């Protein structure tokens, strides 16, 4: 079989995997078909991995086999947890996926095709920033859900300014690298700043709000994978990451509306705080004290509703007494 013919078969298999990914999301929208949707997603992922092993550009299988064994050794026990521990297990999965994407981006920058073009540098920088902040943010989320870390929101004065400043610093370093991709000293600094921002993003959020945060982190991991697909020129990775990122983003918006939360607060790490506008919007009522005699009179009037004929008069008396209080 010629290389061109093999590439055509590979492309066809990738298209089949993409179709299975899309079909999986569609079937997961209903509890009736969710089990079939999960199966379609698993088949699509397995097909994409197996097809990649037949890529003509692949020259060594040793390290791939070793990493597959190590990954299965970690993934199988990780998946056999109690149902109550699924949220933190999901957060760990997002952390591992984001870490792998960030590490591949780092490797592509240091040992990939040199010199790195400016457009490619922009792709690598965005992918590494999103992957790094998703990694540390997912670890913090898992720690809160597992009660290893305090579940209460950890807040301080000016936290939004600090968080946004750190994010602006990471983006500024990314712009500097795009202007001068050969400045290798800025790259590790950008990675460290992005890791710090992931911690600052999730620590102000309470443990009860972690499901929505995990959904948003899932979206970030998907976008990181999509950007990695652009870096590696992998169409199936671009589509799979875009599906994961967009679906996770939509799910986060829906969950915020259902929980009566602000989506912007989720994105900027103030989700666990009580908003001043909401507190001010509460209705103010006058609180009056009552004596024991008043309470006894109300109870007597209420009991007469059941045992005394002509209960309408008793109800009126009870309502009048409540108004007086």
Query: Which tens digit of pLDDT belongs to each residue from 205-218?
Result: 877 778 888 888 88
Assign 64 a pLDDT band (cuts: 50, 70, 90): confident
pLDDT digits (tens, 9 = 90+) for 110-129: 887 667 888 889 989 999 99
Task: Report the length, in residues, of the chain.
Answer: 325
pLDDT beyond 90 at 248: no
What are the residue boundaries of the structural domains of the chain, listed by start? 1-59, 84-273, 292-324
> What confidence tier does 134 reach under pLDDT thresholds 50, 70, 90?
very high
CB burial readout 150-180, b (16+ within 10 A) else e: ebebbeeeebeeebeebbebbbebbebbbee
């Amino acid at each position: 079989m010629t290389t061109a013919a093999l590439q055509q078969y590979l492309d066809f298999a990738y298209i089949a995997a993409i179709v299975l990914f899309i079909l999986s999301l569609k079937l997961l929208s209903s509890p009736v078909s969710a089990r079939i949707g999960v199966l379609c997603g698993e088949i699509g992922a397995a097909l994409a991995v197996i097809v990649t092993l037949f890529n003509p550009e692949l020259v060594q299988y040793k390290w791939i086999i070793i990493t597959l064994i190590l990954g299965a050794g970690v993934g199988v026990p990780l998946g056999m947890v109690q149902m109550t521990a699924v949220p933190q297990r999901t957060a760990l999965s997002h952390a591992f996926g984001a870490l792998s994407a960030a590490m591949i981006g780092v490797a592509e920058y240091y040992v990939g095709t040199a010199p790195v073009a400016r457009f490619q540098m922009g792709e690598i920088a965005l992918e590494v920033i999103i992957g790094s902040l998703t990694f540390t943010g997912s670890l913090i989320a898992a720690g809160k859900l597992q009660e290893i870390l305090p579940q209460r929101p950890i807040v301080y004065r000016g936290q939004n300014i600090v968080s946004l400043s750190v994010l602006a610093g990471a983006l500024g370093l990314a712009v500097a690298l795009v202007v001068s991709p050969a400045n290798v000293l800025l790259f590790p600094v950008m990675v460290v700043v992005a890791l710090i921002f992931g911690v600052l993003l999730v620590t102000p959020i309470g443990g009860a709000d972690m499901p929505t945060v995990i959904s948003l982190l899932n979206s970030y991991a998907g976008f990181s994978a999509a950007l990695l697909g652009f870096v590696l020129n992998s169409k199936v990775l671009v589509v799979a990451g875009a599906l994961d990122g967009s679906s996770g983003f939509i799910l986060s918006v829906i969950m915020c509306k259902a929980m009566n939360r602000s989506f912007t607060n989720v994105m900027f790490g103030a989700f666990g705080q009580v908003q001043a506008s909401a507190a001010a919007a509460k209705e103010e009522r006058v609180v009056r004290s009552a004596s024991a005699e008043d309470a006894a009179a109300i109870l007597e009037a209420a009991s007469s509703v059941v045992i005394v004929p002509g209960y309408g008069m008793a109800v009126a008396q009870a309502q009048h007494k409540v108004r007086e209080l």
